[in-house]
Chain A
């Protein structure tokens, strides 16, 4: 199963508002929990999410331990040209995932 889910419309009218939905499978371990034997469970979260369109950053979010597992991030943007959205998730323990999706502007 893919760890990233992306929903970007395949086509849009020039200048129209589009909704982008993303979901990244991740445990989002807070770092505040302990095992039955009392050991601290180390923090393991996504710390940053970035979306670029044709190389330019258009959306960024910092994530914190209070965010639940499998972060679902959705936002709106406008598009004036066809191109490629690139998504990047970065986190603890060297976590790094990318995904991309293209859109045709009519």
Chain B
């Protein structure tokens, strides 16, 4: 066919696309070089993914990008708030991860160019990749709750990322007079570790019962129901009668604004002044997900459930709390399971094979007092483009204390296993 017409703007654009495609093809193909996989975020999901990649294919060049040299684990950090555990027991280094042959870059990723397949680090260096796994966890939305911003978090700690915030809340509880009101503000779903606000209320009650027995806890909740609710309510009636009050969404529990100057917390139907205010704000995927273009308007990252591939940007996978993963709760063990499944999917994709359909395990232990815990264990599988619960087992509501004791022991074993898998 002879081209007789003048080139239109559409022709020019599609011509440019052809050039870009040709440039992409001109790269050394994956089969020839050693594939370079970058993982941003060294939490349970990122560390599990990086290690699984190396285990599945020792030739892969795997780089883990994580600015913190020490990881501070969220599971069991409610025990730290209640003075039952030290923060150092929550902390792990990346030495063993590096010993697996993974390059650990102690830098923050500041930019991702999905077209050029490069990451810019905080020291200005550029890192090229063939595949990128984003495991950035969560960031607080400091624009979502009137009066609550980064400065307010120093007065009304969220303690929803373990570390300095955890210790701040603990010190405030230790400094509080007997008879004080502790308010825990809980956001609507989705949030990291959905049952954790109630575990926290339980363990704070444990501390107050022993040290400041006239004090009370008020949970202001933007949800009506929550995970393992019957188990928590039974435990509260048994262990902490009259100490914990919860106002659910339909009783006006949604917090609409806070004032860090006065420690006042306002709901649609009431005002409360806290001695200690633990304000857990709405959350979103870690900032780098948005920078990379992997987060949608909800602030979270839509993924293909089989491969964890981003639905928005090519050659990028998203795992853990940042991903929209249907029925899978945003938990440490689910993130680690996703990390391992994502690694397997990447290996298959690099080999030109279709990824296998994952079957993910997640476990979640809630400790309401020393020696008293219960759990939810789930198996999750993709169903119609989204993860669904295939099987969920929750501890029985009516069980003798020996069962709760056994689960408390299992919870500690679970923590040793999951941190050992990721960092040991």
Show the binding face of A for B, using Cβ within 8 Å: 1, 5-7, 21, 23, 25, 69-70, 72, 74
Contact = CB atoms under 8 A, between A and B. Distances in A.
B64 to A, nearest CB: 44
A55 B280 CA distance: 43
B251 A72 contact: no
Contacts of A70: 224, 249-250
Interface of B: 224, 249-252, 268-269
A7 B250 contact: no
Contacts of B250: 23, 25, 69-70
A21 B251 contact: no
Contacts, number: 22
Contacts of A7: 268-269
| Chain B interface, >50% SS class | loop
Nearest to A7: B269
A23 B250 CA distance: 7
Contacts of A6: 269
Contacts of B252: 5, 23
B245 to A, nearest CB: 11
A59 to B, nearest CB: 17
A101 B268 CA distance: 15
A72 B249 CA distance: 10
Given A25-B251, A74-B268, 6 more contacts: A1-B251, A5-B252, A5-B269, A23-B250, A69-B250, A70-B250
Contacts of A21: 268-269
A7 B266 CA distance: 12
A1 B252 CA distance: 11
Nearest to B256: A21
Contacts of A74: 268
22 contacts: A1-B251, A5-B251, A5-B252, A5-B268, A5-B269, A6-B269, A7-B268, A7-B269, A21-B268, A21-B269, A23-B250, A23-B252, A23-B268, A23-B269, A25-B250, A25-B251, A69-B250, A70-B224, A70-B249, A70-B250, A72-B268, A74-B268
Q: State the 4 A-B residue pairs at the shortest beta-carbon distance, nearest first.
A: A70-B250, A5-B269, A5-B252, A7-B269
A45 to B, nearest CB: 15
